[in-house]
A = this chain, B = another copy of it.
Amino acid sequence: MVDVPGVSSGKKSPDARQITTVYIMLLVAAGIGFFVIRDFGEKLAARPVISSPAAIASGTLPQSHLLPQVLVALVVVISVARILGFVCQRLGQPRVIGEVIAGIALGPSLFGRIAPDAMAFVFPSAVSPVLGILAQLGVILYMFLVGLELNSELLRSRAHATVAISHASITGPFLLGAALALTAYSSYAPAGVTFTSFALFLGVAMSITAFPVLARILTDLRLDKTELGVIALGCAAIDDVTAWCLLAFVVGVTKADLYGALMTVMLAGCYLGIMFGVARPLIMRYLAPLKNAELSVNVTAWVLVAVLASAVMTELIGIHAIFGAFLLGAVIPHDGHIAGSFRHKLEDVVSILLLPAFFAYTGTRTQIGLLSEWSDWWFCSLIILVATLGKFGGTLVASRFTGLDWRTSASLGILMNTRGLMELIVLNIGLDLGVISPTLFAMMVLMALVTTIATTPLLRMLLPGCPPSAGGSDQPDAEGFRA
């Protein structure tokens, strides 16, 4: 574009040929120069440096071998998740199903069984903590996004009925889950776990509804603007909040004695109060002038710091890091397009890179091989049955009671039975706490898969007017965050 030579200089500039000649001479001279220096240098003795321990520590690295291993693992994890997600989408299932199956398939249940050597190559033991951290970072950011999404429309000004349906849809599976603990405790509880913790956890784990997956299914079936869709989203939102509060309590009870648990609950209450009473108005004031402007990197950076700091706070309080992230998402103001802007900035990296790592991480912990006997499979079926009965039954009864017709009530019951990704998050927390055994973990993962897979076909049967598989929809928004 700009003719460089001789524009700003009065001097006659050399032509291209001259420049080329000098240029070649320069390169030759440089080559010769280097070899002369090298000749001198090679005669120098290589005096070994007296390395200090610190120097050795930062000089030698198992690090440099870790990077290619992590890269290979990520390439495999993302690719398999995309492929199976695509297949599931074509089959009219939410993409997340395929991604969860991809994670399980890459774990010891399938990949490790048919090709243990290849698995050891793709996922060497050094990679798994890194994958674990990426997974947990992913879940923290994901829960922040869920918090952002949740607040927006659904939690405000809901009718009594929605709250009642929602809580009935929690109470049902919670009690059935706790009752199931009676038979499960002696064979599937890890040593040293009290019955109270075990029963509470099983109850909560049964009561989860996956708000994001539900929203995705409703969009796919074009039900999101219908009465059913609006009630379902409202119930799922309240379900989520309630179940997370319960889980926080359970984590408190499990980690400590009664005194400790009460302390945890009190601190969590204080934190909740501070977040809504102090942080929310401050954030409002800080972000208000930006309501309709593009978010700057600076604001994004500080919100991200706030998300991580809030996660640390809840972790210190004794509930899980994800609560802090979720809470921070919930207190971000939703007028203007600030919330949407954050989602837009984060969702791709979270859904493409970090969530598949979470599914793979969950997959490596899911050992379906532990279900070795018929009694295990029988109990696994019982879990699926109880979870479905509790969720479906509780919702159905409450919906009928509040005056919905049979078909709407039944559809709502089926929808609330969607467990998806949320269930996996809860189960991983349970496994981390040691409140469920790896065997029970595998069973519950299967339960989450089956109940989520069942939702779409059952709903289609009940509502024949639904559009056919919306598998082809490839909108960034719908596919990214909600799938």
Q: Which residue of B lies closest to A409 (CB)?
A: B9
Question: For A438, what are the chain B residues with a Cβ–Cβ distance below 8 Å?
Answer: 54-55, 58-59
Question: For A188, what are the chain B residues with a Cβ–Cβ distance below 8 Å?
Answer: 49
Q: Which residue of B lies closest to A181 (CB)?
A: B41
Complex CA gap A302/B294 in Å reads: 27
Binds B, one of A210-218, A262-270, A379-387, A396-404: A396-404
Are A296's CB and B476's CB within 8 A?
Answer: yes
Are A297's CB and B74's CB within 8 A?
Answer: no
Are A54's CB and B403's CB within 8 A?
Answer: no
Question: For A133, what are the chain B residues with a Cβ–Cβ distance below 8 Å?
Answer: 66-67, 70, 130
Interface size on A, residues (CB 8 A): 146
Are A187's CB and B47's CB within 8 A?
Answer: yes
Contacts of A15-72 to chain B: CB distance below 8 A: 16, 19-20, 22-23, 26-27, 29-30, 33-34, 37-38, 40-42, 44-49, 51-52, 54-55, 58-64, 66-68, 70-72
Listed in ascending order, the chain A residues whose CB lies under 8 Å from chain B are 1-14, 16, 19-20, 22-23, 26-27, 29-30, 33-34, 37-38, 40-42, 44-49, 51-52, 54-55, 58-64, 66-68, 70-72, 74-75, 78-79, 82, 86, 108, 129-130, 132-133, 136-137, 140, 157, 159-164, 167-168, 171, 174-175, 178-179, 181-182, 185-196, 198-199, 203, 227, 230-231, 294-298, 300-302, 304-305, 308-309, 311-312, 315-316, 321, 345-346, 348-349, 351-353, 364-365, 367, 370, 401-405, 408, 431-432, 434, 437-439, 474-476, 479-480
20 pairs, CB–CB < 8 Å, chain A vs chain B: A2-B227, A11-B403, A19-B401, A30-B174, A37-B179, A45-B186, A49-B188, A49-B437, A61-B432, A62-B129, A64-B432, A67-B133, A67-B321, A71-B315, A78-B301, A79-B305, A129-B130, A304-B353, A345-B349, A349-B349
